[in-house]
Amino acid sequence: MSLLIAGTMAFDAIETPFGKTDKIIGGSATYAAWSASHFTQPIQQISIIGGDFPQEEIDQLSARGVQFDGVEQLQNEKSFFWSGKYHMDMNTRDTLITDLNVLEKFNPQVPASYQDAEYVMLGNLMPKLQMQIIDQLKHRPKLIIMDTMNFWMDIAMDDLKDVLKKVDLLMVNDGEARQLSGEYSLVKAAQKIMSMGPRYLIIKKGEHGALLFHGTQVFFAPALPLEDVFDPTGAGDTFAGGFIGYLAKTKNISFENMKTAIIVGSAMASFVVEKFGTQRLKEISKEEIDMRLNQFVDLVNFEIDIV
Amino acid sequence: MSLLIAGTMAFDAIETPFGKTDKIIGGSATYAAWSASHFTQPIQQISIIGGDFPQEEIDQLSARGVQFDGVEQLQNEKSFFWSGKYHMDMNTRDTLITDLNVLEKFNPQVPASYQDAEYVMLGNLMPKLQMQIIDQLKHRPKLIIMDTMNFWMDIAMDDLKDVLKKVDLLMVNDGEARQLSGEYSLVKAAQKIMSMGPRYLIIKKGEHGALLFHGTQVFFAPALPLEDVFDPTGAGDTFAGGFIGYLAKTKNISFENMKTAIIVGSAMASFVVEKFGTQRLKEISKEEIDMRLNQFVDLVNFEIDIV
């Protein structure tokens, strides 16, 4: 009963109103794996890295139960590199550099040792690569969730629609939900997107929380109001990793349990933005996570019996 | 044990992506009174209207327990008129016309019959007028809440700060909270604003819900995801009316009860945006309100015991 995570493992250089980093470890699959590793093991990683990817990071992830059989390392090439600068509102950012490097050669293979994966998270990748992974799975997993982005809607919409037919849950932000559906109302957008394939849809609204849709049901998870968002990089992937890590741990994909999983994902995201990169995900203890979950309970819990 | 509401009673002409109205009844005190009247009576209204304000509307409000002793009518003048046009996102609007008319002569008086008011809502008015009302109250009410807007921060900040010292709860939107405090983080903004006087602060985020702050406590109320927001005019005043109407009904101003009151306010706001003007507030039944409150419970309720 394991979790498979596919996505990038990369370097980022980040500038925010609070500071600036040199190259630090990033990538969707890195954030998701660190986040999920607080809840479930093993984690079967699929990615591609260059010779420059630090062995220390691989060792740390391995110690957390992350398996590397599906991570290809091209010794003479460089890892994917992204550099960006956030504005004051932390919801908008400018991409300064995108060096695809090894990503141009990414030809994801699902090792035989991963074929028992029950939970699958396809991080934001070219839709054809997401499909290639699904096509290699010999048994239908209990749950396949995927992330994507507006870029693929612009240049590979047909491929994206093919993948959507194969997954259980799509995770996008509000702008992407509107673009994908052509509907401004998120309620209407959700109905249209679910008719394209996924039975579940999560619409992420950054600091404004996230919505989970399934049939006519809807659940709203707030973001925790924070004094400062230090670095939002990886918040979405950390959210996804916490979400699916919790589902894999509890072995329960009911709508009710997904509600809790979204709160867990939101809690993990609220940690990762407190420092640059994945640092907080490496530091936090089970006690800190439990305390943060209690803060979410206090944040939204109310009594209603008389009106 | 009554509720006093001060604010405008006016005409609006509204254009949205869904349609257009001629002059219809509007004004902050009108929306707030209709909303509050579902929970408490009497409602002691303070406002100013012209000879053109329809007697039918006055009769309808009176039938709902709204008292007009504090509403001055200038027969030979026109009521306040606002006209605006909403953009597709319904969060931004252009003001097309603002005719102050009778509002220029507004000199609010608190009638003797209103002096027992325990709950006071000061709708968005010139801060000096809000202060004039407070100064006339012979007994300190249990709760004074106020609304304001960025315009008064631009031109009457000192007066506004004087009023803030006298009220228990301020209600502003996120942009206004940032302007008033000079802090981008809403958590920091809240701390700073509460140090200016109000012990409670509600930050409204439109379709993204509302936050209630008190000391170090925080509560988040979502907005109900709606298929369409038909006309957002008056949503904030309807929210405020539902909030304070529920507090007046339950006679309980604890933080816990304010949480419920915010959900009630959000439910009322979710109705008013479904049609133009105050129409939905006139139509809805107790059963519809209860059903909507249950939708809010379903929207945010989750179980957490194992992680």
Which residue in A220, A252, A301 has the most chain B C-beta atoms within 10 A of its own C-beta, making it the best mutation to test that interface?
A: A220
- The chain A residue lying nearest B175, using CA atoms, is A89
Task: Mark residue A8 as left, alpha or beta (left: phi above 0; alpha: psi -120 to 50; beta: remaining).
Answer: beta
Instruction: Copy the structure tokens of residue B85.
Output: 């046009």
CB contact under 8 A, B219 and A306: no
B262: chain A residues, CB-CB within 8 Å: 302
CB contact under 8 A, A302 and B263: yes
Q: Does the residue A65 lie in any domain?
A: yes
CB contact under 8 A, B302 and A219: yes
| Secondary structure of residue B183 in the 3-state scheme | coil
Nearest-Cα distance to chain A for B76, in Å, is 42
User: According to the model, what pLDDT value does residue B18 have?
Assistant: 87
- The chain B residue lying nearest A207, using CA atoms, is B208
User: What secondary structure letter does DSSP report for B39?
Assistant: T
A227: chain B residues, CB-CB within 8 Å: 185, 187-188
Distance (Å, whole) CA B277 – CA B100: 19
- The chain A residue lying nearest B207, using CA atoms, is A208
Phi, psi (rounded to 5 degrees) for A269? -65, -35
Instruction: Give me the CATH number covering residue B137.
Output: 3.40.1190.20
Angle at A162 between CA A157 and CA A164, to 5 degrees: 90
Distance (Å, whole) CA A144 – CA B207: 30
Nearest-Cα distance to chain A for B8, in Å, is 27
* Nearest to B43, CA basis, from B25, B70, B24: B70
Q: Does the residue A305 lie in any domain?
A: no
Q: How far is CA A194 from CA A21, A191, A258, B184, in A?
A: 39, 5, 16, 36
Residues A221 and A13 sit within 8 Å (Cβ to Cβ): no
Residues A88 and B184 sit within 8 Å (Cβ to Cβ): yes
Q: Does the residue B172 lie in any domain?
A: yes
**Where are the extended beta strands (E) located within chain B?**
2-6, 10-16, 19-20, 24-26, 43-50, 66-74, 81-86, 93-99, 117-122, 143-147, 169-173, 200-204, 210-214, 217-221
Nearest-Cα distance to chain A for B168, in Å, is 21
Nearest-Cα distance to chain B for A160, in Å, is 25
Which residue in B203, B220, B288, B306 has the most chain A C-beta atoms within 10 A of its own C-beta, making it the best mutation to test that interface?
A: B220
Nearest-Cα distance to chain A for B72, in Å, is 32
Q: Does the residue B237 lie in any domain?
A: yes
Distance (Å, whole) CA A151 – CA A153: 5
Cis omega (within 30 of 0) for bond into A42: yes
CB contact under 8 A, A259 and B302: yes
Bridge partner residues of B73 (DSSP): B49
SS3 content of chain B, % helix, strand, coil (to 5): 40, 25, 35
CB contact under 8 A, A222 and B219: no
Q: Does the residue A232 lie in any domain?
A: yes
List, for chain B, all residue ranges whose pLDDT scores fall below the cut of 70: 1, 305-307
CB contact under 8 A, B219 and A88: no
Domain hosting A157: range is 2-300
A189: chain B residues, CB-CB within 8 Å: none
pLDDT, averaged in runs of 10, over chain A (307 residues) = 94 93 96 98 98 98 98 98 88 89 97 97 97 98 97 96 98 96 95 98 94 96 89 95 98 96 97 96 97 94 72
- The chain B residue lying nearest A17, using CA atoms, is B184
User: According to the model, what pLDDT value does residue B21 have?
Assistant: 94
Interface contacts A/B by beta carbons within 8 Å: 110
Q: How far is CA B193 from CA A188, A223, B170, B203, in A?
A: 37, 21, 9, 11
Which one of A89, A205, A263 has the shortest CB-CB distance to B208? A205
| Secondary structure of residue B77 in the 3-state scheme | coil
| Secondary structure of residue B192 in the 3-state scheme | helix
B285: chain A residues, CB-CB within 8 Å: none
Q: How far is CA B111 from CA A5, A66, B72, B136, in A?
A: 69, 73, 11, 9
Q: Does the residue B306 lie in any domain?
A: no
Residues A252 and A142 sit within 8 Å (Cβ to Cβ): no
Nearest-Cα distance to chain B for A126, in Å, is 30
Residues B304 and B270 sit within 8 Å (Cβ to Cβ): no
Bridge partner residues of A211 (DSSP): A203, A220
pTM of the model: 0.92
B301: chain A residues, CB-CB within 8 Å: 259
Which one of B188, B222, B227 has the shortest CB-CB distance to A220? B222
Q: Does the residue B305 lie in any domain?
A: no
Q: Does the residue B48 lie in any domain?
A: yes
Cis omega (within 30 of 0) for bond into B42: yes
CB contact under 8 A, A307 and B259: no
Tally of domains within chain A: 1
Residues A142 and A118 sit within 8 Å (Cβ to Cβ): yes
- The chain A residue lying nearest B208, using CA atoms, is A208
Q: Tell me the three-class secondary structure of chain A, residue by residue.
A: CEEEEECCCEEEEEEECCEECCCEEECHHHHHHHHHCCCCCCEEEEEEEECCCCHHHHHHHHHCCEEEEEEEEECCCCCCEEEEEECCCCCCEEEEEEECHHHHHCCCCCCHHHCCEEEEEECCCCHHHHHHHHHHCCCCCCEEEEECCHHHHHHCHHHHHHHHCCCCEEEEEHHHHHHHHCCCCHHHHHHHHHCCCCCEEEEECHHHCEEEEECCEEEEECCCCCCCCCCCCCHHHHHHHHHHHHHHHHCCCCHHHHHHHHHHHHHHHHHHCCCCCCHHHHHCCHHHHHHHHHHHHHHHCCCCCCC
User: According to the model, what pLDDT value does residue A1 have?
Assistant: 67
User: According to the model, what pLDDT value does residue B43 have?
Assistant: 98
User: According to the model, what pLDDT value does residue A305 have?
Assistant: 67
Nearest-Cα distance to chain A for B117, in Å, is 21
- The chain B residue lying nearest A40, using CA atoms, is B307
Place of tokens 């597709």: B88
Predicted confidence (pLDDT) per residue in B128-165, tens digit: 999 999 999 999 999 999 999 999 999 999 999 999 99
**How far, rounded to the nearest angstrom, does the alpha carbon of residue B86 sit from its chain's CA centroid?**
19
User: According to the model, what pLDDT value does residue B30 have?
Assistant: 98
Place of tokens 């007066």: B159
User: According to the model, what pLDDT value does residue B229 have?
Assistant: 86
Distance (Å, whole) CA B92 – CA B275: 18
Distance (Å, whole) CA A70 – CA A58: 13
